[in-house]
């Protein structure tokens, strides 16, 4: 059985996703809103934080897994995993506090994009090397 380097990063990201889901549920209950944000700024922030996570984390995580499967060096997988986790925590913290464009949100989003691009290029280069 193969143990993947990315596993602990994926597990912690899964827990972060669950925490963001719980935050939406709790805020939905407080706002008594069954759909949308019910005009509640707190619920709107919770929804946006959760949606942003769902929009960004899964694709980056899949690409990191593919890079690992294609033979990327363990150091690269650890860097990508740690940076993705840190970026998602930054954005989640920023969005659960305000929907304004904060430095933390911009930093987290930028770091997440760098991870997605770098992991994609790494996966492609590893695949090309193996394919030759």
Q: What is the pLDDT of residues 82-92, one digit of tens each?
A: 999 999 999 99
Task: Give domain status of residue 96, yes or no.
Answer: yes
pLDDT for the residue 126: 95
pLDDT higher than 50, residue 132: no
Task: Give domain status of residue 1, yes or no.
Answer: no
Cα–Cα distances (Å) from 131 to 7, 67, 128, in that order, read 25, 14, 5
Task: Give domain status of residue 21, yes or no.
Answer: yes
pLDDT for the residue 3: 67
- Mean pLDDT in residue range 52-57: 96
pLDDT for the residue 129: 87
- Mean pLDDT in residue range 115-131: 91
Cα gap 132→121, rounded to integer Å: 17
* Strand runs labelled E in the chain: none
Domain range for 61 is 7-131
Task: Give domain status of residue 57, yes or no.
Answer: yes
pLDDT band at residue 36 under the 50/70/90 scheme: confident
pLDDT band at residue 2 under the 50/70/90 scheme: low
DSSP letter for each residue of 75-110:
HHHHHHHHHHHHHHHHHHHHHHH-SS--HHHHHHHH
- Mean pLDDT in residue range 37-65: 95
Task: Give domain status of residue 81, yes or no.
Answer: yes
Task: Give domain status of residue 2, yes or no.
Answer: no
The total of structural domains in the chain comes to: 1
Task: Give domain status of residue 18, yes or no.
Answer: yes
CATH number at residue 19: 1.20.120.550
């Amino acid at each position: 059985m193969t143990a993947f380097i990315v596993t602990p990063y994926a597990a912690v990201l899964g827990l972060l996703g669950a925490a963001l889901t719980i935050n939406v549920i709790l805020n939905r209950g407080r706002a008594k809103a069954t759909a949308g944000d019910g005009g509640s700024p707190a619920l709107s922030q919770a929804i946006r934080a959760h949606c942003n996570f769902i929009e960004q984390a899964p694709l980056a995580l899949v690409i990191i897994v593919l890079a690992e499967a294609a033979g990327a060096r363990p150091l690269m997988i650890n860097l990508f995993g740690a940076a993705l986790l840190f970026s998602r925590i930054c954005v989640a913290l920023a969005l659960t506090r305000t929907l304004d464009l904060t430095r933390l949100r911009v930093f987290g989003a930028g770091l997440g994009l760098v991870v997605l691009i770098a992991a994609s290029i790494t996966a492609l280069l590893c695949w090309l090397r193996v394919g030759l």
